[in-house]
């Protein structure tokens, strides 16, 4: 990407540019990690079960963002074929033309999108089960605070 | 940038005491992440996240809050140990990203395995312009079938969990007939997904 320069000044400039690019190019990943850790912190530091589930959701969404970041290509477009598809089915010539057109456009990677679509739906399923469990715990113990549940359990055991 | 806004919302999630505000912030967070997905070319993911993450899950959380109350007790432990664990994990993960290829580079290894095949061939093999859909429904159709199985299992689990509590309350209140199947109210809200 950066043309290799002969003189050392330009080389060191190129190296500095590389470091700066690294910083910019990894900013996405680092913010994702910060978000992930915020979710993790909510998950382990808070006693309220519903807030724990919110933390789990935050963690989960940050993983989604990581995957989508991996699939993004700078200057790319969403992976929806630009030429359309109607003419491609009728004759071989049209299909070849369509494929040619598709090859010219830069698309982002569709595979992470598919995986994350699946993950979002599975995520809402697990969230709903978690919330249902919280509701049941509330019905059984009268509280959804971890500490109070532990206290009740200890009392029952003693 | 959207990411910074997201981080701000996430920190708000940690600070806010009221659970209602937490749920609303989680909805805001979901919507912001949907915007981010749009910026990163993942339009299908964006509308799924906006509908499911910001819509349905907020409704589910509000329903749970209505049943559990919005009161949250102060944390008993000091948050030092969790903070330490979190920072350590974060540092390890940042160290892990050092080996990752730069963001958005078309020559990254992720983009050159099956993705090329999907982009070039799905038009002839499947015949729909949206590559995400053709991968989801055809190339990785078994994944999607597994996913629907998981969703079904989750729906059944939620119904069983909530129906048990309902039956017990019915036994307490003798006016209602316990023979009728547990439909309506909380249980059915989980099913149409």
**B35-47 mean pLDDT:** 84
What's the gap in Å between the CA of B14 and the closest CA on chain A? 6
Q: Are residues A132 and B53, on separate chains, in Cβ contact within 8 Å?
A: no
Q: What share of chain B is helix, strand, coil (3-state, %, to 5)?
A: 75, 0, 25
Q: Which of residues 21-80 of B touch A (CB under 8 A)?
A: 22-23, 26, 29-30, 33, 36-37, 40-45, 48-49, 52-53, 56-57, 60-61, 63-65, 67-68, 72-73, 75-77, 79
How many Å apart are CA B100 and CA A33, to the nearest integer?
A: 13
- Which class for B28: exposed (0-12), middle (13-18), buried (19 or more C-beta within 10 A)? middle
Mean pLDDT for B44-51 is 87
Contact B73, A148 (CB under 8 A): yes
Please check the confidence at residue B152 and state whether its pLDDT lies above 50.
yes
Using the predicted structure, report yes or no on whether residue B57 has a pLDDT greater than 50.
yes
Match 């036994």 to its residue by tokens: B171
Residue B86 lies in a domain: no
Distance of alpha carbon B81 from alpha carbon B122, whole angstroms? 51
Q: How far apart are the C-alpha atoms of A59 and A39, rounded to whole Å?
A: 5
Domain extent, residue B2, equals 1-76
User: Hey, what are B69's tokens?
Assistant: 């109350």
More confident residue, B76 or A54: A54
pLDDT tens-place string over residues A77-127: 777 777 655 544 444 444 444 445 545 677 778 888 888 888 888 889 999
For helices B57-68 and A49-71, what crossing angle results, to 10°?
A: 170
The answer to whether A35 and B7 have CB atoms below 8 angstroms apart is yes
Q: What percent of chain B has pLDDT over 90?
A: 1
The C-alpha of B127 sits at a distance from chain A's nearest C-alpha, in angstroms, of: 6
Torsion of CA B150, B36, A82, A67, to 10 degrees: -50
- Least confident interval from A79-83, A130-134, B55-59, B140-144: A79-83
For chain A, the structural domain boundaries read: 8-73+108-157
| Domain count within chain B | 1
Instruction: Give the best-scoring range by mean pLDDT among A77-91, B30-44, B115-129, B168-182.
Output: B30-44
Which residue of chain A has the CA closest to B84? A41
Q: Note whether B131 contacts A80, CB cutoff 8 Å.
A: yes
Q: Which residues pair with A77 in a beta bridge?
A: A107
Residue B131 domain flag = no
Residue B148 in domain: no
Q: How many CA atoms lie within 13 A of B1 on its CB side?
A: 10
Region of B172 please: left (phi>0), alpha (psi -120 to 50) or beta: alpha
CATH code, residues A8-73+108-157: 1.10.287.3510
Please report the DSSP string for A135-157 in residue order.
Answer: HHHHHHHS--BHHHHHHHHHHHH
Closest to A38 in 3D by CA, of B77, B79, B148: B79
B159 in any annotated domain: no
Answer yes or no: is B190 within a domain: no
pLDDT-based confidence at B172, cuts 50/70/90? low
Q: Centre a 10 Å sphere on the Cβ of residue B61 and count the other Cβ atoms it contains.
A: 24
The whole-angstrom separation of Cα B14 and Cα A55 is 9
Residues 6+ apart with CB under 8 A from B71: B19
Say which of A45, A99, A127 has its CB closest to residue B57: A127
């Amino acid at each position: 990407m950066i043309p290799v320069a002969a003189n050392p000044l330009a080389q060191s400039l190129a190296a500095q540019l590389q470091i700066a690019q690294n910083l910019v190019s990894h900013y996405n990943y680092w913010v994702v990690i910060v978000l992930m850790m915020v979710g993790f912190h909510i998950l382990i530091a808070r006693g309220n079960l519903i807030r724990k589930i919110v933390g789990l959701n935050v963690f989960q969404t940050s993983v989604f963002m990581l995957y989508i970041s991996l699939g993004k290509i700078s200057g790319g477009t969403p992976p929806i074929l630009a030429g359309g598809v109607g003419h491609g089915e009728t004759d071989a010539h049209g299909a070849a033309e369509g494929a040619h057109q598709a090859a010219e456009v830069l698309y982002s990677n569709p595979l992470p999108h598919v995986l994350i679509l699946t993950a979002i739906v599975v995520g809402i399923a697990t969230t709903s089960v978690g919330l249902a469990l919280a509701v049941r715990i509330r019905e059984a113990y009268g509280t959804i605070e971890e500490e109070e549940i532990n206290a009740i359990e200890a009392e029952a055991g003693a | 940038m959207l990411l910074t806004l997201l981080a701000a919302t996430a920190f708000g999630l940690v600070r806010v005491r009221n659970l209602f505000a937490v749920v609303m912030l989680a909805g805001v967070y979901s919507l912001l992440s949907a915007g981010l997905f749009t910026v990163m070319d993942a339009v299908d993911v964006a509308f799924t996240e906006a509908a499911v993450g910001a819509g349905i899950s907020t409704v589910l959380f509000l329903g749970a809050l209505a049943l559990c109350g919005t009161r949250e007790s102060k944390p008993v432990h000091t948050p030092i140990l969790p903070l330490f664990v979190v920072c350590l994990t974060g540092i390890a993960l940042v160290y892990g990203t050092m080996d990752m290829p730069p963001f958005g580079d078309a020559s990254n290894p992720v983009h050159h395995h099956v993705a090329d095949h999907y982009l070039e061939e799905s038009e002839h093999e499947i015949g729909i312009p949206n590559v995400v859909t053709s991968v989801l429904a055809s190339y990785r159709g078994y994944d999607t079938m597994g996913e629907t199985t998981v969703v079904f299992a989750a729906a059944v689990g939620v119904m069983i969990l909530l129906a048990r509590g309902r039956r017990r309350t019915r036994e307490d209140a003798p006016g209602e007939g316990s023979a009728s199947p547990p439909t309506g109210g909380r249980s059915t809200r989980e099913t149409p997904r």
